[in-house]
Structures are given as structure tokens and as C-alpha cells.
Structure 1
Amino acid sequence: SSTNAGGGGSRLKHEYENGSGRGSGANDSNSNTGQQQQQQQQQQQQQQQQQQQQQQQQQQLQQQQQQQSSSWSSLVKSESPHGLRDPYSTFASQS
């Protein structure tokens, strides 16, 4: 077992110095993965920005809906002619 381990170690060392193993080859692939990571980060940032935009749009929609629902009774009252009793006031006051 000790001879096998020694052989394996020397083979790894040989490949390491050759660059075919985890030596300069790993460095080359590292430089590539660095670029890939940057691209992935950019993609992730874009996705995050898109998600944020979608969330903002949803929030704006919700705010608009809330504004519409909350200001609806006052709108009807202000537009009701001759100060007539607003038929929605009973519902609005309950909500």
C-alpha cells in the first residue's frame, strides 16, 4: 500500500509540474471560471434588478388599488350632484 501511495503521489507531482494535472491547468481554468463568475454575477444582478422592478410595479399597483379603494367614497361624495346623499357612504363608513 505504501508503494502505491508513493506512486500516486509522484504521479500527481509529475502532472502538477507538467500542468496537465492540478498545476497551471487549474490556474488556466481558474482564470476562465473568474470570467464565468463575473458573467454569472452580472446575470444575477440583472435578474435581481428585474425582480426589484417587478416588485416595485406590484407595489405601485397595490398602492394604486389602495388609493382607489380609499378615495372612492370621497370621490363619489365630491362628485355627487347637489350634495345628495352618497349611496356608497354606508358601505365606505363600515369598511
Structure 2
Amino acid sequence: MKVNTQSVNFTADRKLIDFIQKRMDKLELFYDKIIQSDVYLKVENTSEKENKVFEVRVRVPGDSLVVKKQCKTFEEGADIAIASLERQIKKKKQKLRARA
């Protein structure tokens, strides 16, 4: 799956982008009709430790799933957000099966 990654207020290194790509690829195990995914990485200019924002939008036929998490590291944010996306995708798939 092609993941479009955009970083705001900083430059993301290759290691972080590869980590996100690997995690996002696992979503295809749950639902193979994912059209596109966009990841936005932002560093907020605050004194708090949790200043990293990980936002992901996954487009599936007829819908768009969005998750936004704020954490200490982008890796932590990615793990939490993608786990949340897994639940949303499983729910969506169950609804589709119920209609069929």
C-alpha cells in the first residue's frame, strides 16, 4: 500500500518513514480494499512533552477513516493510531458482511 507521509515543522528521517510504512502495511491484512492512506506528522510548539501529533487518514470505498493521536514520540503515536484504525476497519468489515 502506498502511504503518503507529510511532516510539518520538521524533516522526518528515513527510519521513521519506513517504520510507519511497515505498520500501515499491516492494515491490508484486515481489509484489502484500502484505496489510499495519508499520514501527517506535526510537532507542536509547546512546552509539554506530548508535542508530537500523528494523524492518519485512510480512504476505503465509500468512506474515509481518520485518527489523530498526540504522544511523546511519533512511534508511540503510530502504534496507538494504527491499533485504533484496525478496530475501525474490523467494525466496517462486519457491517459490510451484515448487509450482504
Q: TM-score, normalised by structure 2?
A: 0.30
Query: Which structure's CA Rg is the greater one?
Result: 1
Larger proportion of strand = 2
Question: Which structure is richer in relative contact order (CA contacts within 8 A, separation 6 or more)?
Answer: 2
Larger proportion of helix = 1
Q: TM-score, normalised by structure 1?
A: 0.31
